[in-house]
Amino acid sequence: VRYTLSRSFADLLRRKPGRELAAVDGAHLAIRKGEAVGLVGESGSGKSSLGRALLRLTPATGEVRFDGTDVLRQDRRSLLAYRKRAQMVFQDPLASLNPRFKVGEALAEVLRVHRLTRREEIPGRVAALLDTVGLDTEFADRRPRGLSGGQCQRVGIARALAVEPEFIIADEPVSALDLSIQAQILNLFLRLQREMQLTMLFISHDLGVVHHLCQRVAVMYLGRIVEEGPADEIFYHPKHPYTQSLVEAMPRVEFPKGRRELPRLEGEPPSPADKPPGCAFHPRCPHVMDACRQDPPPSIRRVGAAATACHLYPETEKA
């Protein structure tokens, strides 16, 4: 199957070795328009850094292409225009809301700043946004500290949607919420993505969650994407030993089941400052071979319907 890449992000974040510590190094990710892509990995794998680099919220070198334009090289004005098309939903919903503003004021402010709605139409638009995320109109008069975690995250999502973005990056948007609320918010994302045909990067440590929400999944380990492919392929036929260990450690019952910890692999992930030589996963890998201790695995290659970077798959074509 050949896709037409009408809009894609290609991200190649590289730093000169030895100088600065890079959370992400040599990761490549393409997201097609209208598609939800999940980015999974343990904490510290560089998922958030990659997400933030896509919006230029964190310094990065390399290339981030949106609709053909390199976001990292945009001037201030086109960067502002880009941020109207691409929005982020954060992990901690309360911290991302200004406590002084009522919910309705916060949403109205976004509409005013981006000149999206005529003044007299703002209250109606605010009510519609609240409705979209499943909140009553009366929430317009509430302040963030009076809201539950789930309600706060709904407001965070409404604020992201206010600019009618094409692309949303959601960074662990349910990790801070109670178990009982997580599934509700995930189902809200699922509905919004389908109804609005949003392009989405959904960052999570939970493979079950991204399998449920996303059409494609990328797996990150120590700043690199080690496997990438259709969500079902990653979930049912994982190729990379790290992905396999994530899948094996999952409870058998699928979504919704609330929060799970990632598997207890042998040992902790090493610090990005102290990356093991060869394959960075080799100290924890059950399939480790001599070559893995010295030589980095080949760059990510197609294996079946997915692509992976691992010495176990040497003879496959380049992805």
| Spatial separation of the C-alpha atoms in residues 312 and 289, rounded to whole Å | 9
Q: Does 277 bind ligand SF4 (CB under 6 A)?
A: no
| Spatial separation of the C-alpha atoms in residues 316 and 319, rounded to whole Å | 9
Question: What tokens appear for 158 in the block?
Answer: 């409404």
Q: Does 49 bind Mg ion (CB under 5 A)?
A: no
CA distances from 189 to 74, 130, 204, 302 (A): 29, 14, 13, 30
- Chain positions 168 to 197 lying near ligand SF4, rule: CB under 6 A, are none
Q: Which of Mg ion, ligand SF4, none is residue 212 near (CB under 5 to 8 Å by kind)?
A: none
Q: Which is nearer to Mg ion, 49 or 132 (CB)?
A: 49
| Spatial separation of the C-alpha atoms in residues 100 and 103, rounded to whole Å | 9
Q: Does 311 bind ligand SF4 (CB under 6 A)?
A: yes
Q: Which of Mg ion, ligand SF4, none is residue 48 near (CB under 5 to 8 Å by kind)?
A: Mg ion
Sign of the CA dihedral with 280 first, then 259, 213, and 48 last? negative
Specify whether the CB–CB gap between 165 and 85 falls below 8 A. yes
Q: Which of Mg ion, ligand SF4, none is residue 310 near (CB under 5 to 8 Å by kind)?
A: ligand SF4
Specify whether the CB–CB gap between 9 and 70 falls below 8 A. no
Q: Does 281 bind ligand SF4 (CB under 6 A)?
A: yes
Q: Which is nearer to Mg ion, 49 or 193 (CB)?
A: 49
First to last CA, the chain: 13
Q: Which is nearer to ligand SF4, 192 or 310 (CB)?
A: 310
CB of 50 to Mg ion, least distance (A): 10
Which of 45, 48, 182, 308 is in the footprint of Mg ion by CB under 5 A?
A: 48
Under the rule (CB under 5 A), what is the footprint of Mg ion? 48
Under the rule (CB under 6 A), what is the footprint of ligand SF4? 240-241, 279, 281-282, 285, 287-289, 292, 297, 310-312
